Structure 1
Amino acid sequence: MGSTIEPNRLNRRDLIKRAAALGIAAVPVTGLLSACAASGGGGGGGKQESGKKSATNPFGVADSAALEVVIFKGGFGDDYAKRFESLYAKEHPKAKVSHTATQNITGLLQPRLNAGNPPDVVDDSGNAQIKLDVLEKAGQLADLGPLLDAPSVDDPSKKVRDILMPGTVDLGTVNGKFCSLQYVYTVFGLWYSGKLFKQHGWTAPKTWADFLSLGGEIKKAGIAPFAHQGKYPYYINVAIVDLIIKNGGLDTLKRIDSLDDSVWDGDAAKHAIEAVYELVDKDYLLPGTNGMTHIEAQTAWNQYRAAFVPCGAWLENEQLKATPSDFEMTFTPMPSLPGDKLPFEAIRGGANEPYIVPKNARNVAGGLEFMRQMLSKAGATAFAQTANSLTVVKDGIDPGISLRPGTRSTVTALKAAGANVFNPTYMYTASSLDVDMGNASAELMAKRIKPAEWLNRVKAATRKAKNGGE
């Protein structure tokens, strides 16, 4: 995965990677709260470093202040971050920039938060992500508001906030504070092999009825119609919730995000979860997929053992080594259910892959400047070249850059969607709901519960989340 929520991506990625809640291991709030009191507000137990502010140094970065960067090495890799670090070093050549890549953000970050000596910039993603609402509640996140009001690198007449894709600020805001830069612009949906479909004369379905009908043809060809990343039910959650939102419309999205538990009594939720259960009931799942990691399921798909897999746009980069050169990775929106209020072309899309600056970091100013460089055209282009994905920088990519097939298909889908792009936020603001929903989804996909029980469990989980996760 790449995640905003994804093992190889955000909570993904997730991203999603996912962003959002791939991780079921959330850091206890009490542990971080006690750390807040112990840290005394100084990075590494000492004074935060700062220099003189200027037009080109809006945060007052001290020239020789070291900068420590921690990156979740998932679906996007970490080469892109090294390019960002080079951009930063160009502006501050006297600064020592250190780089750590990990897949265990919690294991690396939590002890340092507790000790009051966190790194300066963190890509807080993956299945071991520390949830943003937990960090914010514990007072561990720096306010990134000054970043939004700083001059952009490429055009100082514009503020950083003016060059961001719509929704970026909202998705990085927790309890009224902009505390996370959701950097990657990701779309979510289903993926298939263009080569496989051409070979069999199949057409990507636009309706759920056609999806099920095609599944029968696919199964006759000796291929499983559907694989999913069973060990990380975040992915199937995305598919389920997207079907619900497309069927019920934007009002349903608002009700889910506002933790209105009555939404799970409505027709949209019932229609969507019953539709997904049909994949289980018709035996359309790749054998073993319920126990597979994201990499295992996606690699089986790359091996033509399954026709469709749900994922965010980090998939192409995550699967580079496993994808045959002629695979023709292709993205398609979730198929339409009868009575959908949003068109087939509507997709989940938006900012994810959360980057944070810990409040008690020694070089908070450097962390903010690092993010400003990420949001330059050079930063956005570097990310597209090395991570095969788009960023939240408007018109940030050099038009001359060639894109891989999957990335190209997501750009096409985004254009086709137009204004019909939606992005739930409950994964960030009420992470316990995403975790509990994932547990229910895992049981559903394993055929241990039926749709009615899934709805009951998720309704109870929504009430729990509204009460603070208790």
Structure 2
Amino acid sequence: MTHRTTRTPQSALSTRRRFLQQLAIGGAVVGPGSAFLASCATGGGDDDDDAAAEEPQGEVSEDNPLGVPTDQPVEIYIFDGGFGDGYATDIHQPIFSERWPDIEINHHAAVDIAGELQARFAANEPPDFVNNSGDGQMDTSQLISDGLVHDLTELFDAPSWDDPSVPVRDTLVPGAIEMGTRDGTPYVLNYAFTVFGIWYNKTLMDENGWPVPTTWAEMLDVCADIADHGIAPWVYQGVTAPRYMNWPLLTMATKLAGPEILVAIDNLEEGAWGHEAIRESAHALWDLGQKGYYLEGVEGMEFRDAQGLWARGEAVFCPSGSWIENEEADAIAEDETFELAMMPEPLLSDDAVMPLETIRATAGEPYFVPAQANNPRGGMEYMRAMLSMEGARGFTEMVTSFTSVLGSSEGVEIAAPGLSSAQAALNAAGENVINWFYTSWYPTMENPGIDQATGALLRGAADVDEWVERCEDVAREIREDDSITKQSR
């Protein structure tokens, strides 16, 4: 299966190692849409050793360091969401096939990954490679606990695709492997590198002389002026994903009080969600709704519908990750004058302990190899091809997203204004890059837990005290559930 996707040229990126190290912030595995579904699969235990022993394996050699069997097909599933699947069919698969022409690739694209694959995991008949993303994302933590995800140590220790003298692990930004690691074992490859912030309609802002707000007081002033012009100041991802607003909420709170508040949340500490800085940030977003600054009816919209209206000029501000430029490319293309840009979240107070330029950024978009796959070594070899310089650069060119491969931005031209502004924000942030882990450690804590609480806050069905209470209840359920393996930092 092959189809063609037009590539977008892009402007030059800095590739200094120090800058890339600043990108390596451990944290949540997030992709375009980040809901999680609990896995219905069962397995693991002693069967894992038997499965490993039965893995088909070719002869290990300098040209075949993972021992990929050349007489076995590789079955892959790609999430057909914000990044689409053209990067797989048009870039990664040709790279793989050039080196392994006799290995058949069975490609599948799916919007609902769990809906497509949970029954196959339950039957111990999973594919060889899974891009586990989107609102139909499977619960990776549960899959790992059930012994259904393959250890990727061999992949990261193997020689890299481009230079046999350099192991794969040394080609990745620091922290990328650790984000997919549980109890010391790497299970997930987080391939894309995402910058989070508030994305805005730069065309409207420039035309009307509205300044990019740096404080929350300035944000409210700008919102009042925008509303007076008959435009909605804000949109968020509707009933599907109000959790997108957790990102500016937690980022603004962290700027105000420092990253220790995120550690407390990740470690499930009692009272963490009730910290005064988090309350203040939650109140700011609640107040937007009280003032009528959210797009009318957004609370009942699907996330793509809401974002599409933003891209068509019906709202100015939208929280998201740097995938949004590709995700809304069709809507953006309808208006040749539309230009988007990213801004860091405003400061809630002048006495904030972190600077305005502080942003959230992390490696994300998870890929894994199932432990019960027919050809797990083929799945890992496919990952090794993805992590080639050609594969990483091609991904960036096609979907306007950075990757976790060191130096892969060198020579890539970024014409996309949104990604260019994200690059500028990363440069400005320096070492002030934050992230949190609870969304990947405890998927159901984020969705449906905190997600539903934040949805109620935004639509005015809960005030800040009620929101805090609901968030604390969600954290308590995770904390007291002995069946859930706890992580800490």
TM-score by length of 1: 0.92
- Which residue of the partner structure matches residue 87 of structure 2? 80
Structure 2: which 5+ runs fail to align?
Answer: 1-27, 485-489
- Which residue of the partner structure matches residue 333 of structure 1? 344
The amino acid that maps onto 2:336 is: S
CA contact (8 A) 2:29 2:439 kept: no
Match of 2:459 among 436, 446, 466: 446
- Which residue of the partner structure matches residue 279 of structure 1? 288
- Which residue of the partner structure matches residue 228 of structure 1? 236
Alignment of 1:317 onto 2:330: no
CA contact (8 A) 2:32 2:81 kept: no
Written as runs of structure 1 = structure 2, the 5 A alignment for 1:21-40 is 22-23=35-36, 25-27=37-39, 31-34=40-43
- Which residue of the partner structure matches residue 199 of structure 1? 207
Q: SS state of the match for residue 407, structure 1?
A: helix
CA contact (8 A) 1:36 1:114 kept: no
Q: SS state of the match for residue 101, structure 1?
A: strand
- Which residue of the partner structure matches residue 16 of structure 1? 30
Equivalent-residue separation in structure 2 for 1:340 and 1:53 (angstroms): 55
**TM-aligned CA deviation for residue 250 of structure 1:** 1.6
The amino acid that maps onto 1:178 is: P
- Which residue of the partner structure matches residue 270 of structure 1? 279
Q: SS state of the match for residue 453, structure 2?
A: helix
CA contact (8 A) 2:243 2:455 kept: no
Equivalent-residue separation in structure 1 for 2:171 and 2:347 (angstroms): 33
Written as runs of structure 1 = structure 2, the 5 A alignment for 1:147-186 is 147-186=155-194
Q: How many residues are matched?
A: 450
Residue by residue, what CA displacement relative to the aligned partner does 1:200-226 show, whole Å, maximum 9, x if unpaired?
011211111111111000000110110
- Which residue of the partner structure matches residue 51 of structure 1? 58
Written as runs of structure 1 = structure 2, the 5 A alignment for 1:250-261 is 250-261=259-270
Q: SS state of the match for residue 321, structure 1?
A: helix
**TM-aligned CA deviation for residue 267 of structure 1:** 1.4
Equivalent-residue separation in structure 2 for 1:15 and 1:429 (angstroms): 9
The amino acid that maps onto 2:479 is: K
The amino acid that maps onto 1:17 is: G
Equivalent-residue separation in structure 1 for 2:32 and 2:374 (angstroms): 28
Equivalent-residue separation in structure 2 for 1:382 and 1:430 (angstroms): 32
- Which residue of the partner structure matches residue 7 of structure 1? none
Equivalent-residue separation in structure 1 for 2:260 and 2:412 (angstroms): 40
Alignment of 1:108 onto 2:116: yes
Residue by residue, what CA displacement relative to the aligned partner does 1:90-112 show, whole Å, maximum 9, x if unpaired?
11111001110000101111111
Alignment of 1:67 onto 2:74: yes
Written as runs of structure 1 = structure 2, the 5 A alignment for 1:295-444 is 295-323=304-332, 324-338=335-349, 339-435=351-447, 436-444=449-457
- Larger displacement relative to structure 2 (369-378 or 392-401): 392-401
**TM-aligned CA deviation for residue 156 of structure 1:** 2.2
Equivalent-residue separation in structure 2 for 1:453 and 1:250 (angstroms): 24
**TM-aligned CA deviation for residue 397 of structure 1:** 2.6
**TM-aligned CA deviation for residue 388 of structure 1:** 1.1
Equivalent-residue separation in structure 2 for 1:233 and 1:195 (angstroms): 26
Equivalent-residue separation in structure 2 for 1:266 and 1:382 (angstroms): 43
Distance of aligned partners of 1:35 and 1:138 in 2 relative to their CA distance in 1, 3 Å threshold? closer
TM-score by length of 2: 0.88
Q: SS state of the match for residue 137, structure 2?
A: coil
CA contact (8 A) 1:36 1:116 kept: no
Equivalent-residue separation in structure 1 for 2:31 and 2:249 (angstroms): 17
Residue by residue, what CA displacement relative to the aligned partner does 1:422-462 show, whole Å, maximum 9, x if unpaired?
12111110112212111100111111110011011111111
**TM-aligned CA deviation for residue 47 of structure 1:** 4.0
**TM-aligned CA deviation for residue 152 of structure 1:** 1.5
**TM-aligned CA deviation for residue 48 of structure 1:** 2.4
Equivalent-residue separation in structure 1 for 2:45 and 2:297 (angstroms): 44
Greater length-normalized contact order (CA 8 Å, ≥ 6 residues apart): 2
Equivalent-residue separation in structure 1 for 2:63 and 2:430 (angstroms): 36
Q: SS state of the match for residue 330, structure 1?
A: strand
The amino acid that maps onto 1:421 is: V
Residue by residue, what CA displacement relative to the aligned partner does 1:342-381 show, whole Å, maximum 9, x if unpaired?
2111111011110010001011111111111111110111
**TM-aligned CA deviation for residue 34 of structure 1:** 5.0
**TM-aligned CA deviation for residue 139 of structure 1:** 0.9
**TM-aligned CA deviation for residue 387 of structure 1:** 1.0
- Larger displacement relative to structure 2 (328-337 or 231-240): 231-240
Equivalent-residue separation in structure 2 for 1:400 and 1:380 (angstroms): 10
- Larger displacement relative to structure 2 (233-242 or 93-102): 233-242
- Which residue of the partner structure matches residue 247 of structure 1? 256
Residue by residue, what CA displacement relative to the aligned partner does 1:24-59 show, whole Å, maximum 9, x if unpaired?
x322xxx4225878899549xx94221011223211
Written as runs of structure 1 = structure 2, the 5 A alignment for 1:85-100 is 85-100=93-108
Structure 1: which 5+ runs fail to align?
Answer: 1-13
Residue by residue, what CA displacement relative to the aligned partner does 1:121-165 show, whole Å, maximum 9, x if unpaired?
100000010011111111110001112111112222222111211
